[in-house]
Chain A
Amino acid sequence: MVYIKMKKAQMEVFGLAIVVILIFIGMIFAFRFFNPASTDDVKSRYVDEVIAQSMLTSMFSINTTCSLDMTELAKDCSIRNSYYCDGVLSCEYLDETIGNILSNTLEVWRKPYEFTISGTEIDKKYGDCSRLKKVPGTYHISLYPEAGSITATLTICRN
């Protein structure tokens, strides 16, 4: 008799445990599939892509205070770094100008970013991008008449 009572109690506890497990699985399912971050991800990513790409095309199209524009300065910086603009070499001029633009825009808007130009030592960062999703924009610069090309990459990081 005692044995039967014990078994019934155990069965009830077992049933309760199943209910708790089912509720727990339901909650995991809800968090997994109804996560608001995943639904707007593509759209928010697109907005950051537009900003990154617009930033690069605008930045490399502007005229400088010397006769070369930003694209030509980037070419010189990558090939020989011999052109003086406002008394400083092209790489230094480029580095300062790009730094000013990024610090007055993306940094003010609190958007973490990583910026590099391949073939040069220009490398800028703001915020910690290591744990964030990265949205890159690229701008290719031909080195013609030299062979090859360089790429400026601006990666905007987001949650």
Chain B
Amino acid sequence: MKKAQLEINETMIVLFIFILLVMFGVVFFARIHRINVEAEIAARQNLDLVRISQAISSLPELSCTIGNVQIDNCYDILKIEAFMKILEDNPGYFQGTLLYYTTINIRQYDPFNDVWTNEWNLHDNNIENSDQRKIFVPVLLYDKRTATKHFGVLDLTWYILR
């Protein structure tokens, strides 16, 4: 009787340790899975940022053309100024289809004098207390008035609800 009880106790301890190990394993894999999913979401969000930046640069309202040929990754300065006015008059323009909750700045840099010369705040629709994803894309800025090309950077911040 005593021996049988001892064996039951032993079995219970073994089962307890086994369940403990299984639980440890489940928690461990769940955590790793969560980290993976978070990394995947971050990577997708970064890709979405690139997609938005490329979509913006190919907008006819902003892209630059030289001799009827559209230049890749190039923004027309005059068009930027006109587009800003359009967005000012119609704040909902492109809101739900392209610009979403983003802040978009285009900055012009003069590498010959080492100064940032201009900055255009194209769009600003931020959400307070939200997660942010940022991307900086080097771009070409074309000034049709002087027919000159300048170096610029597109700063795109995307606000994501938590």
Interface set of A (CB-CB < 8 Å, partner B): 23, 26-27, 30, 34, 36-37, 39-40, 43-44, 46-47, 50-51, 54-55, 57-59, 61-65, 69, 86, 97-98, 100-101, 104-105, 109
**Which A residues touch B54, using CB under 8 A?**
50
**C-alpha spacing A37/B72, complex, angstroms:** 31
A58 touches B46 (CB 8 A): no
**C-alpha spacing A101/B136, complex, angstroms:** 13
B112 at interface by CB-CB < 8 Å: yes
Closest 5 pairs between A and B when the two form their complex, measured CB to CB: A40-B43, A36-B39, A43-B43, A100-B111, A55-B138
**C-alpha spacing A62/B152, complex, angstroms:** 10
Interface set of B (CB-CB < 8 Å, partner A): 21, 25, 28-29, 32-33, 35-36, 38-40, 42-44, 46-47, 49-50, 54, 71-74, 109, 111-112, 114, 116, 135-140, 148-153
Judged by DSSP, the binding face of A is: helix
- Give the total number of A-B pairs whose CB atoms are below 8 A apart: 93
**Which A residues touch B139, using CB under 8 A?**
54, 58
B149 touches A101 (CB 8 A): no
**Which B residues touch A63, using CB under 8 A?**
148-150
In the complex, the chain B residue whose C-beta lies closest to that of A31 is B32
Also in contact, A105 and B149, with CB within 8 A (given A65-B112, A86-B112): no
B72 touches A57 (CB 8 A): yes
B29 touches A57 (CB 8 A): no
B40 touches A105 (CB 8 A): no
In the complex, the chain A residue whose C-beta lies closest to that of B54 is A50
In the complex, the chain A residue whose C-beta lies closest to that of B35 is A36
A26 touches B109 (CB 8 A): no
Q: In angstroms, how far is the closest chain B Cβ from the Cβ of A112?
A: 15
**Which A residues touch B151, using CB under 8 A?**
58-59, 62, 101
A50 touches B50 (CB 8 A): yes
B111 touches A30 (CB 8 A): no
**Which B residues touch A54, using CB under 8 A?**
73, 137-139
**Which A residues touch B153, using CB under 8 A?**
105
Further contacts, 20 of them, CB under 8 A, given A39-B39, A58-B151, A104-B114: A26-B25, A34-B33, A34-B35, A36-B36, A39-B40, A40-B39, A44-B43, A46-B50, A50-B50, A51-B137, A58-B139, A61-B71, A61-B140, A97-B111, A98-B111, A100-B114, A104-B109, A105-B109, A105-B136, A109-B136
Q: What are 8 A-B contacts with C-beta separation under 8 Å?
A: A34-B36, A36-B39, A43-B43, A43-B44, A47-B135, A50-B54, A58-B139, A101-B111
